[in-house]
Amino acid sequence: MVLDAFSVRVALGVVTLTLFALFCASFYRTRSPYAGWWSIALLEFMVGNAAFLLNGTTHQQWANPVGNVLVVAGAFSVWAGARSLRDLKTAPWQLAAGPGITAIASMLEEPATNVWSGGFVYLAMMTAGIALAATDLWLIKSSHSQAHKALSLAAGLLALYYLGRWAVYAMEGPAGATFRTYFGPAPSGLVSMVLLVTVSFSMTALTSDQLIKGLKERAARDHLTGLLNRGTFLDLATGELKRLRATESNVAIILADLDHFKAVNDEYGHGTGDVALKAFAAACTASARSTDLIARYGGEEFILFLPGATQERAENIAGEISRRMAATAVPEGVTFPTISYGVTSSPNAAADLTFMIEVADAALYSAKAQGRNRIVGADRLQAAVIADEARS
């Protein structure tokens, strides 16, 4: 039995249109980046296959290259969606490269008379786009639902199918018996239809998983600065301290407070105060390492947990934060507050987290008492206390 390519493409278009409508509605409700990219991909697949229906007409000259470009763009949009599940962004040039190369190849091979104009490049780009999507789906962290594994396998099978199409096309051309029977427009449309439906069911689980992940992320972070909130910080720092204690590693804590912050709000308004808080959060993030924990501890008070850091290293980081804060561009007529720090450390992570925070808080209080805009380490604080006791 020979499949009718036109009928298969019409059926594929109907299925794609239905799925597009469903996932547009899903994206409207959830704002999931993956649902958004999948909706874009479905639209590109749908319009691209509609363009192929014009093959054999007077419109073939422009419709055939447009179809090639849009279908390839759909494959790369699926890849962008897979990357979004790994919290990775896709640059415009990465999305445009495959379709752009396909457009050039399609226009160079007489599209007015050749329905397979640019076919070799088109099949190669489809293989590349779908294979990249399968790879990124497989590399999603295990904290996500396991639906991504099934989706990755489905995408991998489709990539292998397109690789087979490309190889047979290269060996015998589109007129070959093997290509027409197993890899022509009709059989490939049927395969694509089955996989679109299969993938769309998996998409529902992945979209929900991404939404839940986003909600958890927002719940764990301060809405203004994007830093960890106090509760999440304490949970993560407690677990990290246990690990460091087992390996007898250093650990340090910095407690920071923006000086006279209330005066900033009173003089310039709370909007300016928010700008100052976000600027300080950015300075902390730029000065610390990716392994450090940074949180808004409350109001204008911030805390940093530095695994492996010595007292000296922690005090240097505090100084670096202040330098970055001082170099931050400020609104005209506004002066950002200075910062006071209390710093403590534990050579073998032997101290309790609550005790370390209390010591850092005492050092911060001392910094405030000494005139603010300074870094006070717990070791110097203890030396001052001993000196005071000796004088008395």
Cβ distance 242 to 73 under 8 Å? Answer: no
3-state secondary structure of 112: coil
What is the C-alpha separation between 280 and 302, in angstroms, rounded?
9
**Residues 6+ away with beta carbon under 8 Å from 269:** none
With b for 16 or more beta-carbon neighbours within 10 A and e for fewer, the 209-236 pattern comes to bbbebeeeeeeebbeebebbbeebbbee
How buried is 58 (Cβ within 10 angstroms: 0-12 exposed, 13-18 middle, 19+ buried)? exposed
Cα end-to-end span (Å), the chain: 104
d(CA 66, CA 70): 6
Q: What secondary structure letter does DSSP report for 179? A: I
Residue 114 DSSP symbol = -
Which residue, among 42, 366, 35, has the nearest Cα to 208 in the 3D structure? 35
CA dist 319 and 323 (Å) reads 6
Q: Which residues are catalytic?
A: 300
Question: Regarding beta strands 339-346 and 251-258, do their DSSP bridges make them parallel or antiparallel, or are they unpaired?
Answer: antiparallel
Please, are residues 5 and 185 in contact by the beta-carbon 8 Å criterion?
A: yes
- Cα separation, 201 vs 214, in Å, equals 21
At 305 the three-state DSSP class reads: strand
